[in-house]
Structure 1
């Protein structure tokens, strides 16, 4: 029998972070650029870097060396690919070198993407048990679950710091907060397209969404929210795109992000989808997000 959700303070991740697949790159030629980008995100005032894709402790350790205080999180570590005892050991090493910097984001992924995928909920429970009983245990308050459905949300409430859902809406956030209660951290990924022209913004968004809408876990969650099969085809209806992706002018994006916070999110892990061809890292977009979210103004205001 496990105790209810811990009463310790929520992980200190601030109100906004950056979600990026690029920052977990293992390309040696990009290592310097990735580390410099992480340092800039910290300087801009973002509270966390979420390492997208199938990320691991070692990816966070690489960025910890070039930053001082920004939180580093896996978004997510795939439980089918890395053994819990190995993860616990690696996390302990990172914790010794950089205390209170790392948040272990865990997910059961999708049947289409993981070998030997079965019983995802039970397997996650077993994985958390293994983290609890490892030689160097991972405290519940230093892990977060990629929860979507009600059962996984309750598990995130009872056995972790909270939930890190992906591809969700403000309406979902309100429902998730109802399941989690007030104490757990609710830190959704939110996709952003900084493009004010509607047709181009939606085209960019659909290019991103098409892949995810084919995965049953996401499709089922969106249907629970009232979307239909028709909404999920061809990269998503206008209604779906406009609900899942924050796009438009700076003011429109800011207003949309505020809806997630109003609905109950503590922290938004912002994922930029550029509408133009780009180099490996969308740093100009991240700087603009710092302006949109008010982080730049906070960093430049006089200290009292």
Structure 2
């Protein structure tokens, strides 16, 4: 089993306030990492601040915080705060996000996403090292920013990356790459872009259930909402699923949601969602690892016969010890 084995926090079936006991279990279950997200639920930093206390020793990461919903200085301050709470075990994951999140929900501007991510990365590396930054970047200008209290151990910074240009930036200037919605076979193609020495991180959606039809029905809603977003559509074109997903995209664009869901082939659902009994799910996750994924971040989703609380335990490295016996 891989050295890193992550869990998404908080959990899909409960609030952050109700997640404390289960987060506290993660180290004892063998999880090495706890990773937040930031879409339209909790923010990316608060769960990590609490997990620093609730789950001592676990590596904490954000997957991901958008670079265009906060100013660069505020982003540096938030990162420095978590780095101070969890010295040496915080990883700052940043990314371009999407027009819906940046513009429609946060009244920001989703322009030049690659350049904005690159510029934010370069600024953060200097700011979190304690430097005073005065610099005109392509997408913004900073005049005299210096953290009042820079972290003694600056966090590693990893980039959300879905296609070659951003993947290469992650390999050349960041400390790793985060990806999403891919199959074990897709890992090889992503790994080829970043080389063997760059950490590759991915969130894997898992449903512990042997009711295949029910899982596919639930998963189609998730897949349609993501794979119609332009950045994910382009990602799966690059991965080779363009023709498979074309009927779904056309129906979605025409406003026929039911036709779009029906148009997603079973093979795509089975490629992108880990499902089955717990042992089958653990074996599938190990396929990702064998193909070059360094850090799987599990995201158990509701809807299976096994409650999420039990799924967290059943998918853990401790549970996986039986697989190797």
Q: Same fold (TM over 0.5)?
A: yes
Instruction: Give the conservation status (yes or no) of the 8 Å contact 1:141–1:161.
Output: no
Taking the TM superposition and a 5 Å limit, the aligned residue runs for 1:17-56 are: 17-20=6-9, 22=11, 30-31=16-17, 33-54=18-39, 55-56=43-44
Instruction: Give the conservation status (yes or no) of the 8 Å contact 2:93–2:159.
Output: yes
Counterpart of 1:199 in 2: which secondary structure? helix
**C-alpha separation between the residues in 2 aligned to 1:250 and 1:180?**
31
Instruction: Give the conservation status (yes or no) of the 8 Å contact 1:140–1:159.
Output: no
> Which residue does 1:245 correspond to in 2?
273
- Does 1:98 pair with 2:86? yes
- Does 1:84 pair with 2:38? no
Cα distance, 1:126 vs structure 2: 1.1
**C-alpha separation between the residues in 1 aligned to 2:186 and 2:304?**
30
Counterpart of 1:104 in 2: which secondary structure? strand
> Which residue does 2:297 correspond to in 1?
269
Gaps of 5+ in 2: 104-108, 128-145, 250-259
**How many residues are matched?**
279
TM-score (norm 1): 0.83
Instruction: Give the conservation status (yes or no) of the 8 Å contact 1:201–1:248.
Output: no
Cα distance, 1:151 vs structure 2: 0.5
Structure 1 or 2, whichever has the larger Rg, is 2
> Which residue does 1:234 correspond to in 2?
261
Cα distance, 1:120 vs structure 2: 0.3
Q: How large is the Cα RMSD of the aligned pairs?
A: 2.7
Match of 2:284 among 224, 249, 256: 256
**C-alpha separation between the residues in 2 aligned to 1:94 and 1:252?**
35
> Which residue does 2:54 correspond to in 1?
66
User: Could you list the per-position Cα deviations for residues 101-151 of structure 1 after superposition, in whole angstroms to 9, with x for gaps in the alignment?
Assistant: 211010111122212101100011111122123235788861111100101
> Which residue does 1:168 correspond to in 2?
182
Cα distance, 1:189 vs structure 2: 1.0
TM-score (norm 2): 0.78
Cα distance, 1:298 vs structure 2: 5.0
Gaps of 5+ in 1: 1-12
**C-alpha separation between the residues in 2 aligned to 1:271 and 1:297?**
17
